Each structure stands twice: as C-alpha cells, then as structure tokens.
Amino acid sequence: MAQPTGGLKRFYGWLVVLALAGAAVIVWLAMRPPTISIPANVVVTAADTSGFSGYYLGSDSAPVTITEYGDFQCPLCASWDGVQFPAVREQLINTGKVRWRYRDWPIDQLHRWTRVASHAAACADEQGKYWPMHEALFVWQSTWAYSSNAPSLIHDYAVQAGVDGSKFDACMASKKYAGRIQASFNEGEALGVNATPSFVIGGRLYIGVEHMSSDEVGKLVDSIIAARPAPAKKP
C-alpha cells in the first residue's frame, strides 16, 4: 500500500490544525455571552417601579438625601465617581449625614452601551452586588465604553464583582429592567435634567456639575442640616 508523500502529510496536518481551530472557535462562541441591546423609550408599567425608587447607599435615617442622575458611559460621571465620590462616601455617607440615591439617566444619542451598563448594574443588584458593579463600570469605562465587545467585557466585570455569571446572563437576556431604566430617565427629565452628572441636593437641582468638589457637597450638606429647626425638647 502506498504511503502518503511528504506533501500529503503536511496537507493532512493542516487539516487537523484547521479542524481543531474551528472546534475551538465554536466552543468560544458558545461560551461567550451574547451581544445584547436594551431598548429605549419603552412604556413604563407599574411593575417597573413598584417597590423601587433608586439605588441607595447609607443610612435611611440620614438627615440629607442626595440624588445623582448619571450615565455609566459618561466620561465626566466616571471622573466624578473616581475623584470626588470616595471622599463623599467617607465623609458624608459613612458618617450618617447623607443617604446617596443613584438614578440612571442614559444619554442614548452619545452612548451606545449606556443602557446595557445600567441593566447590568440592575442584574448585579439582584445578587446584592450593585455597588461593586457600579464602581467597576466606572473604573473600567475607558475599556468597555467604545468596544464592540462591551457586553462580554461587562459580563466579566460582573463575575469579578462576585456575581454568578449564568444568572447574570439570564437576567441580561430577559431585558426585564428596561422599564425601570426608562422610568429613572423620565423622572430626571421631568425635573429638568439635561446633562450628567446632575444632583438634587436639598431639593435643588444642580445640572451637569462634574466640577463640583466633595468639599462643596459637604458645605451644602452642612448648611442644609444647620438650617433645619432643632427638635423640640421633651417636657
């Protein structure tokens, strides 16, 4: 029986290599989280807002509540979260002066993945990991924000934050928080929000104040607390 020539051996070898490479690609595609988009301008139902008014950090007995309207793909929001928010958290939230409330305000015209990121944070919240995911999305924003592979990267950040990947993927595929995100956007728009980050402090809206420092926030909080009447003395 004739033996394969050297040329045929190399040919068969390349076929094996290509077959293995093809199998590897199939496995990779099967394991890779699917690309997903979260619809905008959906009709908000009562179920979307029932029992939910935002993501909170701090004591519910804090004398001042600050609401932030932010966009996870907004560079100015990421800058504020990385530079100013740590001091706000340490000096105002952890000391019991402030309860922080975060609301999504996605700017769809500029940011392709903003609602995907908001939905990812909501899915992480299901597993008690909202704030670690919130932080990760801003820390790694420059990596995922303009990548065609953003959903896969965001999946990886969720797992690194301690989220079960399979449950997270199922939550993302459901798109069940699209209405919640829209309700948050509608709330901010009704107040007059037109840029991010924006804050409501003491009932006053501060629009697009990415340059507001943690010290300025602290002074506002102290002035609000000082202006409140002292509690009545017990007889």
Q: What is the pLDDT of residues 114-163, one digit of tens each?
A: 999 999 999 999 999 999 999 999 999 999 999 999 999 999 999 999 99
DSSP result, 97-151: SEEEEEEE---TTT-TTHHHHHHHHHHHHHTT-HHHHHHHHHHTHHHHTT-TTHH
Residue 31's pLDDT band, with cuts at 50, 70 and 90, is very low
The answer for residues whose C-beta is within 8 angstroms of residue 47's C-beta and 6 or more apart is 179
Residue 26, pLDDT score: 38
Query: Domains in the chain and their CATH numbers?
Result: 46-225 (3.40.30.10)
- Percentage of residues of the chain with pLDDT beyond 90: 79
**Inter-residue contact 227 to 101 (CB < 8 Å):** no
Residue 102 zone, left/alpha/beta (φ > 0; ψ -120 to 50; rest): beta
pLDDT of 60 higher than 70: yes
Residue 160, pLDDT score: 97
Residue 18, pLDDT score: 45
Expressed in angstroms, the distance from the first to the final Cα of the chain is 112
Please give the C-alpha separations between residue 142 and each of 37, 84, 114, 125, in angstroms, as whole numbers.
Answer: 19, 18, 13, 23
pLDDT of 16 higher than 80: no
Cβ neighbours around 23 below 10 Å, total: 10
Residue 34, pLDDT score: 54
Complete edge-to-edge strand list for the sheet that includes strand 64-70: 55-57, 98-104, 64-70, 198-201, 204-206
Residue 10, pLDDT score: 59
C-alpha of 28 from chain center: 26
Dmax (CA) for the chain in angstroms is 112
Distance CA 171, CA 59 (A): 28
Residue 145, pLDDT score: 96
24 burial (CB, 10 Å; 0-12 / 13-18 / 19+) is: exposed
| Averaged pLDDT, 59-86 | 97
Tally the C-alpha atoms within 13 A of residue 77's C-alpha that lie toward its C-beta: 29
